[in-house]
A = this chain, B = another copy of it.
Amino acid sequence: MLPDPIKKFVQVFSSLPSIGPRQATRLAFYLLGLGRGQITEVAKTVADLTQLKTCPECFNVYGGGNPLCAVCSHPGRRRDLLMIVEKETDLMSLEKTKKFYGRYLILGTLDKSGLLEQAQKLKLRTLARRGPFAEIIVAVNPTIYGDLSCEAIFQEIKNAAGHTPKITRLGRGLPTGGEIEFADEETLGSALDNRG
């Protein structure tokens, strides 16, 4: 019933995260309503993502002709201060604070088992040639899964770094704008421990 190009569109787009077949169908007809010019524009926007490269040092995506990304090629950023994050979007959020002047390592989404994938272990081993580090901040989510993975990451860092750098995690406590009444026990406990 549905023409092949729409069927294919629905199939491809509903395989993307948080897009279902209904939304994909609506999207297809919405695009069709925009006309050829704008459909071609949207297609080009997708295709242009292939212009991006992965930084061989921190594994973040970046554009342009440099051999390293903007953070890794920035002379003013400390070489001995490293933050390990899961995702590019975590890096973006942390950069917005403008409070970190070190470099990054993007590890990729952590498995809920707490075990590191082979690719993640290999990424952590590249730290051997990036150190020595004064401090490594393991900026993974403060969840039980994050806590589990942290143990494995700590171990891998110790093996890779050659020396034993100071390893820290992000501070825990009440989120700004949060209310004590609604905070869970764990969070309140952390807020008490980290009071100041």
Contacts and interface: CB of A to CB of B under 8 A. Distances in A.
Oligomer copy total: 2
A96 B2 CA distance: 11
A73 to B, nearest CB: 14
Contact of A50 (B19, B40, B51, B95): B40
A89 B49 contact: no
Contacts of A12: 41-42, 45
Interface of A: 1-6, 8-9, 12-13, 16-19, 23, 25-32, 36, 39-52, 61-64, 87-89, 92, 95-96
26 contacts: A1-B92, A3-B52, A3-B62, A4-B63, A5-B45, A5-B52, A5-B63, A6-B49, A6-B52, A6-B61, A8-B45, A9-B45, A12-B41, A12-B42, A13-B42, A16-B30, A17-B27, A19-B27, A28-B49, A29-B87, A31-B49, A42-B46, A43-B44, A43-B46, A43-B47, A46-B46
